[in-house]
Amino acid sequence: MKVLAAMSGGVDSAVAAARAVEAGHDVVGVHLALSRMPGTLRTGSRGCCTIEDSRDAWRACDILGIPYYVWDFSERFKEDVVDDFIAEYAAGRTPNPCMRCNERIKFAALLEKALALGFDAVCTGHYAKVIEDEHGNRELHRAADWAKDQSYVLGVLTHEQLKHSMFPLADTPSKAEVRAEAARRGLSVANKPDSHDICFISDGDTRGWLAEKIEMEPGQIVDQTGSVVGEHEGANAFTVGQRRGLKLGRPAADGKPRFVLEIRPKENKVVVGPEALLAVDQMRGIKVSWAGLPIAEVAAQAEFDCMVQVRAHGDPVPARARMEADDDGRQQLVVTLVDPMRGVAPGQTMVLYQGTRVLGQATIDSARSLSWDPAQVS
Amino acid sequence: MYLDHAATTPISAQALAALTHELSRSGNPSSLHGSGRRARRVVEDARESIAAAAGAHPSEVIFTSGGTEADNLAVKGLYWARRDEDPQRRRILCSPVEHHAVLDTVEWLERHEGAEAVWLPVDEFGVVSLDALRREIEADPDAVALVTVMWANNEVGTVQPVAEIVAAAKPHGIPVHSDAVQAFGQLPVSFAESGLDTMAISGHKIGGPVGIGALLVGRAVKLTPVQHGGGQERDIRSGTLDTPAIAAFAAAAEEVTGGLAEEAARLGTLREKLIAGVVGAVPEAVLRGAPDPQFEGKRLPGNAHFTFPGCEGDSLLFLLDLAGVESSTGSACTAGVPRPSHVLLAMGLGEEEARGAQRFTLGHTSTDADVDALVAALPEAYARARKAGMAGHISSIQTAGTQPW
C-alpha cells in the first residue's frame, strides 16, 4: 500500500511510521503545519508545530529512509478546530479540540489530500486498533495497553475514515516499549517528552486564552428553582461542577455549598444548586456518528447495553442507549446511566463501547439529573 | 531529472578539480611566509578571474560566504555609511520582488535602524516601474540612502532595467545595489558598464561550491563593514579567506562566462521547448514572468515559471518528485511551510493563484530528456494535484461535525 505517515515529531508517530515501512508499505512522511506562526521552539511538553517538531519529524524520516514533506493545514485547522473551540465555549459547552482535529484535519483534510495524491491510507501513532471482519468491514477497538489507549479520541471516525486508517501501535504492550523500540531504531525522539495540553494554547492557560477571544458580559446567577442568588462577570468563565469563585452573597436555604449545574449563554445565566443535582442520570447526544457499521439496534431504535466514556482518560461506566428522533425528526442518542455520574458537561463527547469495541460517539447536548427539571429555571 | 538549477547547480568538473587540489594544500593567504604567499597567489589569481568574468576591477571583488552575506553587507553597509554622512538619508527604494536576502535586510533596517522602506511597484511581469523610481527620487533626493533592485528575479526570471535604474539615481549621487546572483553566469553582466555601486554574486549558482560568493564594491563606494576582525578584504569583510572555495569559484566563473553566449542560446531554446511542452500538456498552465521567445534578454534563459490553476504548488512538487522530476514552488519556506510567493503577489496575483506556482530551472547539465520527462509526468501530476487542491477546500468526507445539526 501507499501509506502517508502523519509525523508530529514525537516518538509515537515515528515508531508507527517505522513499523509501516517494515511491514513493506511504500511510506511517505508528512508533518502538518497547523500554526500560523511556526517560528517557535518547544518548551517541555507544551507546544506543537514548532520548528523543532518539524525537524524531529524530518530526522525520523531520514533515518527511516522515506521522503518527508510539510503540508500546510493552518487555515483548515483555524476554521475547523480553533474557531470551533472558541464557538463551543462561547455557547457554554466544553469541547475536545483533539477529537475535532482527528475528525476534520487528520482523517479528513489530510486524508482527502492523501487519497487525491494517490495514497491508500493515513498512518498515525495513535494507540488504538482497527479490526477487519470477513466482509472487509472495519471496527475500531481499544489498544492493548489500556493506560495509553486513545480509542476515545478516535471514536469520532466513521467507517469511511477507518477504511483508510492505520494505527501500527495498536498491540504494543506499553509506551515504554515504544520508547525502547525508538532507541533501538536509532530515532532521536526516543526520549522526547509526551505532549499534553491543547497544542494551540502555548502557555497552557486555557481560561486566559479564551478570555481574550470571548466577550464576557455580567449576568445573573440563579438557583435550581430560578431564584436569583448572585451575579457573575461572564457566564463563559464557569464550568459545570465548579464550586469555588461563585461569590454568592446569601447561603443556600439548607446551608450546604452550591455548585454550577448549567451554563446558559443565550440568557447569560449560570444555574447553581446542591451537589446532589450534579449527579447525571441521562445524557442526550447530537452529532452522532458510528465507528464502523452501526450495530443492529441502532437502526431498529432499540435500547442496547454498552459502556460510556465521557473524557479521554475517564473510566467507562455501564449504561443503556438508544437512538430517538426529537420533535423535529432529528436523531439523538439517549444514554441512561446505570449509576449516576458526576463531571459531565455539554460539549463533551460521549463514546460508547461494547467490550473493547468502539460503537460510536455523540456530542453531549444535555446532561442532567432526572430528579431535576431544568425547565423550572426560565 | 533535475529542474531546479536556480536553487543550486551541480559543481563543474573544473571547479571540483580546483577545490580538491587546494583543499589538499594549506596556508593562510594573510600569512607572510612561503605557504601564506602561495595561498595568497591562488586567491589573487582567482580574484582577477572573477573580476574579469564580472566586468570589474580586481580590487572591487570582496569575497563573502555567499549571496546572502553579500546582499546583507551591501544593503546594511551602504545604508549605514550614507546615514552617518547625513542623518536625513533614511529611505531605501527597493523592489518588492527582491530575494529574502535583500527583503529581510531592508525590513530589519526599518525595525532597528530607523530606515524607511519604499516598495516600488512592479508590472504584471515583475518589472520595476522606472516612473515610480524617478518620482520617489525626485520627491526628495536628499532623503534617499540607497536604491536596491535585483538584476534578474530568482523565481520568475524577469530581468530588471538595471542601466535605467542607475541612470535615474546617479545624477543625485544615490548609490545603487543589485543582487545579480541569478543573472551572473546566465546573462552578460558587466559591473563596470552597469554603473552599479555594489553587486552580489554567488558561487554555487554557476557551478562553483556552496559557501562562497562575492560583493563587487566600486572603488569610490563607502561601505560600513558588518563583520569585524582581522581587516581582510579592504577592511570591508574580515575573516580568513577560503582559498579552495575561492579557487573553485573562479574556475566556475571562467568556465561559465567563457561559453556564456552559446550556453544561453542552448538553454533558451530548451526553455522555449519546456514552455511549449508544459502548455501543450496542461493548457491551463499560465507562464509567469516576462515572455522572451526571441531571446532579447528579458528573462533568464534557464527559467520557466508557471501557475497551475486549482492546485497547490507543493502537491505538484510532491507528485513530480515521486515521478522523478525535481522542481520547486519557487517561494521561501519557514519551517518548511509553503506560503504564497511575495514575488507573485507583488505582480498582482491573488493568493489562490499564487499557491499553484511551480518553477522549472535549467542549467549546464540539462538536456532534452529532462524536458521530455517533465512533459510526460505533468498531465497526471496536474490532474491529481488539482483533485488534492479541491480537497483542501471542499470536504467530501462526511463526519459528525458536517451534519446540519
CATH code for position B278? 3.90.1150.10
Q: Do B321 and A67 touch (CB under 8 A)?
A: yes
pLDDT of residue A45: 40
pLDDT of residue B393: 62
In this structure, of A78-87, A133-142, B315-324, B382-391, the range with the lowest mean pLDDT score is B382-391
Are the C-beta atoms of residues A33 and A49 closer than 8 Å to each other? yes
Q: Name the grid cell of B220.
A: 569610490
B169 and B291 share one domain: no
pLDDT of residue A121: 96
pLDDT of residue B279: 97
pLDDT of residue A167: 96
A-chain residues near B377 (CB < 8 A): none
B129 and B160 share one domain: yes
By CA distance, what is A55's nearest residue in B? B335
pLDDT of residue A362: 95
Q: Which of A36, A51, A71, A162 would you mutate first to test chain B, the one with the most B CBs within 10 A? A: A71
Q: How many CB pairs (< 8 A) connect A and B?
A: 97
The residue to which cell 463533551 is assigned: A348
Q: Do A156 and B384 touch (CB under 8 A)?
A: no
Taking alpha carbons only, the member of B151, B196, B157 closest to residue B55 is B196
Task: Choose between B365 and A261: higher pLDDT.
Answer: B365
Q: Do A38 and B334 touch (CB under 8 A)?
A: yes
CA dihedral B42, B43, B44, B47 (to 10 degrees): 120
3-state SS record for A80-149:
HHHHHHHHHHHCCCCCCHHHHHHHHHHHHHHHHHHHHCCCCEEECCCCEEEEECCCCCEEEEECCCCCCC
A-chain residues near B339 (CB < 8 A): 72
pLDDT of residue A46: 40
Q: What is the DSSP string of B238-306?
A: -S---HHHHHHHHHHHHHHHHTHHHHHHHHHHHHHHHHHHHHHH-TT-EE-S---TT--SSB-TTEEEE
User: Is B2 part of any domain?
Assistant: no
Catalytic (active-site) positions of B: 333
Non-local (6+) Cβ contacts of A172 within 8 A are: A127, A143, A144, A145, A148, A178
B286 and B364 share one domain: yes
pLDDT of residue B229: 95
B180 and B289 share one domain: no
B200 and B342 share one domain: no
Which of A54, A117, A363 faces B318 most closely, judged by CB atoms?
Answer: A117
Q: Per CB distance under 8 Å, which residues of A are interface residues toward B? A: 31, 33, 38-39, 49-51, 54, 58, 67, 69-72, 74, 76, 80, 84, 100, 103-104, 107-109, 111-113, 115-118, 156-158, 160-161, 286-289, 330, 361-363
Asked if pLDDT for residue B333 goes beyond 60, the answer is no
By CA distance, what is B397's nearest residue in A? A108
Q: Do A54 and B335 touch (CB under 8 A)?
A: yes
A-chain residues near B401 (CB < 8 A): 80, 84, 100, 103-104, 156, 287
* Active-site residue, A199 included: yes
Sheet holding A219-223, edge to edge: A228-232, A219-223, A269-274, A258-264
pTM of the model: 0.86
User: Is B403 part of any domain?
Assistant: no
Integer CA distances (angstroms), B196 to A46, A299, B144, B257, B263, in order: 50, 79, 16, 20, 26
State the amino acid at position A92 in one-letter form: G
Q: Name the burial class of residue B174, with classes exposed (0-12), middle (13-18) and buried (19+) by CB atoms within 10 angstroms of its CB.
A: buried
CA dihedral A171, A175, A181, A187 (to 10 degrees): 130
Q: Is B403 on the interface with A (CB under 8 A)?
A: yes
pLDDT tens profile B51-89 = 999 999 999 999 999 999 999 999 999 999 999 999 999
The residue to which cell 481560561 is assigned: A207
Question: Is the domain A215-273 a CATH 2.30.30.280 member?
Answer: yes
Integer CA distances (angstroms), A259 to A274, A369, B383, in order: 6, 14, 58
Q: How many domains does chain B have?
A: 2
Q: Do A76 and B338 touch (CB under 8 A)?
A: no
- B229, B257, B285 - which closes a domain: B257
Q: Which neighbouring-strand residues pair with A140?
A: A130, A358
Name the minimum distance, in Å, from the CA of A179 to any CA of chain B. Answer: 26
Which of B337, B401, B403 faces A72 most closely, judged by CB atoms?
Answer: B337
Q: Do A116 and B388 touch (CB under 8 A)?
A: yes
Name the minimum distance, in Å, from the CA of A156 to any CA of chain B. Answer: 7
State the amino acid at position B205 in one-letter form: K
A-chain residues near B391 (CB < 8 A): 109, 112-113, 115-116
Q: Do B395 and A108 touch (CB under 8 A)?
A: yes
Asked if pLDDT for residue B324 goes beyond 90, the answer is yes
User: Is B323 part of any domain?
Assistant: yes
Phi, psi (degrees; rounded to nearest 5) at A92: 80, 15
Q: Name the grid cell of A119.
A: 495514497
Name the minimum distance, in Å, from the CA of B370 to any CA of chain A. Answer: 22
Residue B201 structural domain: 13-257
pLDDT of residue B336: 57
By CA distance, what is A58's nearest residue in B? B336
Query: 3-class SS at B338?
Result: strand
Q: How far apart are CA A105 and CA B141, in angstroms?
A: 53
Q: Is B396 on the interface with A (CB under 8 A)?
A: yes
A-chain residues near B396 (CB < 8 A): 112
Q: What is the mean pLDDT of residues B28-56?
A: 96
Query: CATH topology for A2-191?
Result: Rossmann fold (3.40.50)
pLDDT of residue B233: 95
Q: Name the burial class of residue B267, with classes exposed (0-12), middle (13-18) and buried (19+) by CB atoms within 10 angstroms of its CB.
A: buried
Q: Report DSSP state, residue A246.
A: -
B74 and B102 share one domain: yes
In this structure, of B157-171, B287-301, B317-331, B391-405, the range with the lowest mean pLDDT score is B391-405
* Ranges of residues in chain A whose predicted pLDDT is under 70: 36-50, 196, 378
By CA distance, what is A158's nearest residue in B? B399
pLDDT of residue A40: 47
Name the minimum distance, in Å, from the CA of A78 to any CA of chain B. Answer: 13
Taking alpha carbons only, the member of B29, B20, B3, B14 closest to residue B240 is B29
A-chain residues near B390 (CB < 8 A): 116
Q: How far apart are CA A107 and CA A100, in angstroms?
A: 10
Name the minimum distance, in Å, from the CA of B111 to any CA of chain A. Answer: 18
B153 and B250 share one domain: yes
B-chain residues near A67 (CB < 8 A): 321
- B192, B227, B257 - which closes a domain: B257
B233 and B353 share one domain: no
Which of B314, B392, B405 faces A69 most closely, judged by CB atoms?
Answer: B314
Are the C-beta atoms of residues B366 and B394 closer than 8 Å to each other? no
Task: Choose between B180 and A70: higher pLDDT.
Answer: B180
Task: Choose between B268 and A190: higher pLDDT.
Answer: B268
pLDDT of residue B405: 60
CATH code for position B96? 3.40.640.10
DSSP E strands in B21-90: the ranges are 61-64
User: Is B353 part of any domain?
Assistant: yes
Q: Do A109 and B405 touch (CB under 8 A)?
A: no
A-chain residues near B337 (CB < 8 A): 33, 38, 70, 72, 74
Q: Do A286 and B338 touch (CB under 8 A)?
A: no
Name the minimum distance, in Å, from the CA of B181 to any CA of chain A. Answer: 27
Catalytic residue among A48, A49, A61, A101: A101
Are the C-beta atoms of residues A148 and A11 closer than 8 Å to each other? no
Query: CATH topology for A279-376?
Result: Elongation Factor Tu (Ef-tu); domain 3 (2.40.30)
Which of A118, A158, A362 faces B399 most closely, judged by CB atoms?
Answer: A158
Q: What is the mean pLDDT of residues B9-24?
A: 96
B-chain residues near A285 (CB < 8 A): none
C-alpha triplet A117, A37, B358: angle, nearest 5°:
40
Phi, psi (degrees; rounded to nearest 5) at B349: -75, 150
Q: Do B401 and A103 touch (CB under 8 A)?
A: yes
Are the C-beta atoms of residues B70 and B214 closer than 8 Å to each other? yes
User: Is B190 part of any domain?
Assistant: yes
B-chain residues near A33 (CB < 8 A): 335-337
User: Is B398 part of any domain?
Assistant: no
Integer CA distances (angstroms), B147 to A371, B70, B130, B173, in order: 78, 15, 12, 11
Enumerate the domain spans of chain A. Answer: 2-191, 215-273, 279-376
Q: Do A72 and B391 touch (CB under 8 A)?
A: no
Q: Is B319 on the interface with A (CB under 8 A)?
A: yes
User: Is B3 part of any domain?
Assistant: no
By CA distance, what is A26's nearest residue in B? B322
Q: Which of B319, B333, B337 would you mutate first to test chain A, the one with the most A CBs within 10 A? A: B337
What ipTM is given for this predicted complex? 0.82
Q: What is the DSSP string of B114-142?
A: --EEEE--B-TT-PBPHHHHHHHHHH-GG
B-chain residues near A38 (CB < 8 A): 334-335, 337
Q: Do B390 and A69 touch (CB under 8 A)?
A: no
Local confidence band at B145 (pLDDT 50, 70, 90 cut-offs):
very high
